[in-house]
Structure 1
């Protein structure tokens, strides 16, 4: 690592000249560059940022992203999740969703197709598009210096077709009746998922478990990363994760995020999972397909499904949603801001996906170079305020010791979502009209809280009722 090398050189120089005041300065500098191991106290109030290095900047490099890490503090970010940073296989590389690079005859045309990040050729290398391992180390060090943890996207379910295991350990792969490796199959139908650019790994082979765990441990031991986001975590045996994670944590505490809602993954492996069902409900609410009653039923279900210390990641977009299902505005329209505010105020951890903070209004290309916008519009100041509240008010704690969630009854519960979060004497209340019609409603508030975000003032109209326009919301806080 660049900074560690410089620091060690400084220590050797200081030892030779026996300059006691300078030795004190060096120790202080080392302490400033360190970060405490990842822990639940920090995660309770954290915002997570998904960094799409290829599309984050025109350069598409580690260095370009590293330059912007300090300003992510303004958004309350405490965890940076890097989409896969590893070399991408060239064999059977995706050009479009249904064409591989071999289907493109023009060699110049082929060059623009960079492939899927999730078709990995080497788990312990870095994609030369992004830079070098030294550049990556600089990114991690900069994040740590700014009080942020770095987790890597880990794709344990499959590799690209260039991965050396296909030659060296073909028995690591699922094979057909001819003994040929196959792409991942839908277990219910036996048909391909369409992920033809990757080869499915066979976890019945326990030697694969050792090899995969060793490759994960490499990044913890050699590059000081702070955890992993596990791609399609539920498609890999839970027993693999349960044996791997304790070995990874022998080096230091780690934060583990599963791309799954499977409650069994939380017992001995993962800290947080995806709130997929909640996300789909937000889309349906925004599109008028369900009412707030469906949300209330979902929150009751969460209470009974998960253990008290399980928690989920809340989002309105991510790399899959943006590229394949549409932008936030496409899916949520005028409800977008109310839904973003909802992701910060319900139990769990809110996610920002690269470009969301800049009001990104287009679907990023997945297999080609693209670039997010960098103009601050509506979302940046909104997320800045939401991030501050999440970081500073324990009433929004969302981890293993989450603040209480209490539904507040209104006279229009099909359209109005109102709830209170509370912890350690602090309170935050979210009230929103989650419909495309104006609503008059009554709501009993037991104490005076100040508007923090959204509707500028909360005052009763005629007949002791509040009036909210379509998709209007307010966040109240006593701190």
Structure 2
């Protein structure tokens, strides 16, 4: 899947807590590229994705306050709104006073800071009326330490040799789930279905998708599509994710090349080599998310202006 250099106009603009992200797609075919069996929705083709941090987007930090900005966001050319996790944030082992959105206390709950389910439904409905779509950030790999599953289903969690629940990496505010447990998988898929049925969301951006077994994502996509055809974005760069589960994956390598070019460490030859490799690795109809920033980059590596200077 070749991404033509002339088409790399990457729209990733920080604006009042939101991020514009362009979905890059191939214009040429490759006879060696693997085949994807995912059926893309028409509205997802060449889509512009806008990442939203609800808490920081407006002074109020609510769904209702954000909803008032939807017409302006539509005028920017946005197609898909990606809401960072909207669930209640765990209190136990919380990092900092605010905690992490990715420490989910309740998969079917709404963070009361943002409003309630009716407020979310109104936001989604308004976005749909404007011709936009809404996806939720989903954290399947781990939960908060005070998620009800911890007490009700301890067998749903990964454990060390001493039988103690473990945190993934150094993320001490969360407990890693055990995807060898079939009941947990089924419960996770039911939670994914919940937001499609109750709030009419259009899909998910799946956090650390590579840490979750691929067969889970394949099954989840199949079951979700039976409820409503969805759009799925993987925070990962594995080719296999495109075969049955995800429409789009992160173009992380391109992101790092662009940063290096901005610093004068690489040039157009490196970009051209990337296009060739990308074309050979990924299915010709796979969507890759091209970006110059996102919430992780902004938090850990600086803004696009700090990383890329005048090249932005």
TM-score bucket of the superposed structures, by smaller chain = 0.7 to 0.9
Confirm or deny that 1:42 pairs with 2:18. Answer: no
**Aligned-pair distance for 1:46?**
1.8
Q: Deviations over 1:251-279 (max 9, x none)?
A: 11100000011010110000000010000
Contact map agreement 1:50 1:80 (CA 8 A) in 2: yes
Say which SS state the counterpart of residue 201 (structure 2) adopts. coil
Q: Deviations over 1:379-434 (max 9, x none)?
A: xxxxxxxxxxxxxxxxxxxxxxxxxxxxxxxxxxxxxxxxxxxxxxxxxxxxxxxx
TM-score normalized with structure 2 length: 0.86
Contact map agreement 2:85 2:101 (CA 8 A) in 1: yes
Tell me how far apart the structure 2 counterparts of residues 71 and 209 of structure 1 sit (CA, whole Å): 39
**Aligned-pair distance for 1:289?**
1.1
Tell me how far apart the structure 1 counterparts of residues 162 and 45 of structure 2 sit (CA, whole Å): 51
Tell me how far apart the structure 2 counterparts of residues 333 and 255 of structure 1 sit (CA, whole Å): 33
- Aligned match of 2:117: 133
Say which SS state the counterpart of residue 257 (structure 1) adopts. strand
Between the two structures, name the one with larger relative contact order (CA 8 Å, sep ≥ 6).
2
- Aligned match of 2:297: 321
**Aligned-pair distance for 1:307?**
1.1
- Aligned match of 2:245: 269
- Aligned match of 2:213: 237
Q: Deviations over 1:140-199 (max 9, x none)?
A: 001001001100000000000010110010011111222111101xxxxxxxx2100000
**Aligned-pair distance for 1:54?**
0.8
Superposed, which structure 2 residues align to 1:36-75 within 5 Å?
40-75=41-76
Residue number among 149, 164, 171 corresponding to 1:180 in the alignment = 164
**Aligned-pair distance for 1:73?**
1.3
Contact map agreement 2:57 2:66 (CA 8 A) in 1: yes
Unaligned runs of 5+ in 2: 1-38
- Aligned match of 1:162: 146
Q: For the aligned residues, what is the CA RMSD?
A: 1.1
Tell me how far apart the structure 2 counterparts of residues 39 and 183 of structure 1 sit (CA, whole Å): 35
Q: Deviations over 1:69-97 (max 9, x none)?
A: 111111110100000000000000001xx
My pick for the range that moved more, 247-256 or 38-47, is 38-47
Tell me how far apart the structure 2 counterparts of residues 252 and 244 of structure 1 sit (CA, whole Å): 12
Contact map agreement 2:217 2:245 (CA 8 A) in 1: yes
Unaligned runs of 5+ in 1: 1-37, 96-112, 185-192, 337-479
- Aligned match of 2:85: 84
Say which SS state the counterpart of residue 282 (structure 1) adopts. helix
Tell me how far apart the structure 1 counterparts of residues 159 and 100 of structure 2 sit (CA, whole Å): 22
Superposed, which structure 2 residues align to 1:190-205 within 5 Å?
193-205=169-181
Q: Is the radius of gyration larger for structure 1 or structure 2?
A: 1
- Aligned match of 2:128: 144
Number of residue pairs the alignment of both structures matches: 274
- Aligned match of 1:475: none
TM-score normalized with structure 1 length: 0.56
